[in-house]
A and B are shown apart, each in its own frame.
Chain A
Amino acid sequence: MAKKNDWVRIHRNVLEPAERTGKLPEDTKKVPLEMWVKGRLQNETAEIGDQVTITTCVGRSEHGTLIEVNPCYDLNYGAFVPEILEMEERLRGALFGGDLT
């Protein structure tokens, strides 16, 4: 359960498919324009999935579905890509390993 002033992330559809502009590819026309933003929860309490109001870090009010409390970044350097090592070996070979053939 989230409490007032918790740092949360919300989601909302800004435009439903029927409201989108005409100049879109067919696949994009079929899906809504969605929005995600973070801020401090203004409801006294809320559960994931509830409609809530937040205040963003610039003081703006936004509303939407609560999707995450204490949202974190899960960025990393990804799975090992062996081709990167191979590029390195080929490049070093090309420069230092004699003439190109």
Chain B
Amino acid sequence: MINGMIVDKSYQAVTGRMGEIINKAMGVDYSKYERGGIVFDYEALMNDTGYSLEDHIRIQRQFNVGNTPVFELHNLTALARKCAAPGKGARIFVKDEASNPAGSFKERRAAASVYHAKKMGYKGVIAATSGNYGAAVASQAAMQGLKCIIVQECYDSKASGQPEIIEKARKCEALGAEVLQLSVGPELFYEVLMMLEETGYFNASLYSAFGIGGVETLGWELGHQFMDRYGRHPDVVVCANAGGGNLTGTARGLIKAGCPAQVVAASVDLKGLSMASDQQFNRKSFTTAHTGFGVPYATDPDHSDVPRSAARPLRYMDRYVTVKQGEVFYITEALATLEGMEKGPAGNTSLAAAFALAQEMDQDQIIVAQETEYTGAGKHIQPQLAFARKNGIELLFGDPETEIPGTNIVFPADPRLLKARDADLDHMKASLIRRQASHATAALTEADVAYLAEETKSDAAFVRKVLETL
């Protein structure tokens, strides 16, 4: 019952009320950004939050987020140079986002959402996440004095859960949040809508403009840290890519800092595994930063818990590479044993790619993996690999090229076998164009074509060529 009315809680009824629920739960009327045809005014959505980059920096400083250090990884650089052709092997850096209060860059996404929720008079916040974002929202809610509910996809139908996700539940509860755990399935968003309707809390969506605006500080800091310390910009910034918010926010921040670095997306290759499959849920060893999220969210950003996502990575991506699960575990171990830094595995997706990409670059160039994440019981290579083995996944040394997600994990027998494999970015851009064009109810206009070019960091000629194939 809400306001004395009997509310239909069936799946169809609740998802049918999505626009209305989100409007109430965020104070954002997404329909006002629609511009006719298929065009949606992305910059208006981003600018309408009322929080500038300076506001995000101020809020993050107030609540102990950001301003994280950048470390040069001398030994990993030396190892990359041993693997590379003479003169090759860029200097490898990492931005230690694990030093945020709850252990990841996600607090940049959480801070303004929680701040705004409080300012607007909401009593609590809700977020749908099995990842670090839950801990981030819980931490910020604790700091800023709001209640918090985290909704997690956690178990398969045998109630077996990924150690990494169970650790995230523990951390969220330790930080005072209610954690609602669900079995596998995209109906997680239905549960979130019901929670929002029931509690009247704020939807701290990962895909809100507040969240993505918050990540801009990461790119902005990177731009300034390198100028301050080395008098130059980094040449390449590698961002782990799942829902696209990390890359989108970082790239926007780099642009605002005047940093011309190439922005590379990196995802763990989980090709062949269905993300919504009950039986395959525990056959993967990465629950985020993988292609199962990275590719569908890049090509179809608007299928999240908000009508229009502020995470639109194809607008900013210069290149998209994939790495294998075995390679990320390997680089995680390398970070511990060669650099003395023990960090969570998934956060090292970008570092694994950076290690390979550095070998294509000159020695005087700079490449940055823009995050680390915390580690601990459950969320660590030992329990994750032990869990994989328990689930029948074979662990072996060899050429990671032969890794089959869900069947084996192949650690590089030799560091030269760690590769960053180019994904077909043009194919993804074409896929986005085709998908959005299919929503058109009339013939596409010049404005539609210009919009699609912006959406894909391409040009009108590219868009038209794709449209001709329809």
Query: Whole-angstrom distance from the CB of B129 to the nearest CB of chain A?
Result: 16
CB <8 Å contact, B389 and A81: yes
Given the known interface contacts A28-B278, A58-B148, A87-B333, the answer about A81 and B395 at a Cβ–Cβ threshold of 8 Å is yes
A20 at the interface (CB under 8 A from B): yes
Q: How far is the CA of A92 from the CA of B190 in the complex (A)?
A: 49
CB <8 Å contact, B338 and A92: yes
- Over the window 265-283 of chain B, the binary record of Cβ atoms lying under 8 Å from chain A Cβ atoms (1 yes, 0 no) is 0000000001011110000
**Option from A14, A37, A100 in Cβ contact (under 8 Å) with B187:** A14
Most buried by A among B333, B395, B397: B333
Stretch from B87-95, B292-300, B409-417 at the A interface: B409-417
Given the known interface contacts A57-B178, A78-B387, the answer about A35 and B157 at a Cβ–Cβ threshold of 8 Å is no
Q: How far is the CA of A24 from the CA of B336 in the complex (A)?
A: 39
Query: Whole-angstrom distance from the CB of B89 to the nearest CB of chain A?
Result: 13
B167 at the interface (CB under 8 A from A): yes
CB <8 Å contact, B178 and A81: no
Q: How far is the CA of A59 from the CA of B182 in the complex (A)?
A: 20
Given the known interface contacts A19-B11, A25-B277, the answer about A87 and B181 at a Cβ–Cβ threshold of 8 Å is no
Instruction: Count CB-based A-B contacts (< 8 Å).
Output: 166
A1 at the interface (CB under 8 A from B): no
CB <8 Å contact, B414 and A27: no
Most buried by A among B177, B187, B190, B384: B187
B179 at the interface (CB under 8 A from A): yes
CB <8 Å contact, B416 and A100: yes
Query: Whole-angstrom distance from the CB of A44 to the nearest CB of chain B?
Result: 23
CB <8 Å contact, A35 and B182: yes
Given the known interface contacts A33-B183, A58-B124, A81-B382, the answer about A91 and B334 at a Cβ–Cβ threshold of 8 Å is yes
Given the known interface contacts A37-B180, A100-B82, the answer about A21 and B186 at a Cβ–Cβ threshold of 8 Å is yes
CB <8 Å contact, A35 and B180: yes
A20 contacts across to B, CB distance below 8 A: 11, 185, 187
Which residues of chain A have a CB within 8 Å of any CB of chain B? 14-15, 19-21, 23-25, 27-28, 30-39, 56-60, 73, 75-81, 83-84, 86-88, 90-92, 94-95, 99-100
Which residues of chain B have a CB within 8 Å of any CB of chain A? 10-11, 75, 78-79, 82-83, 124, 147-149, 154-155, 157, 159, 163, 166-167, 170, 173, 176-187, 190-191, 198-199, 274, 276-279, 329-330, 333-334, 336-338, 377-378, 380-387, 389-390, 395-397, 411, 413-416
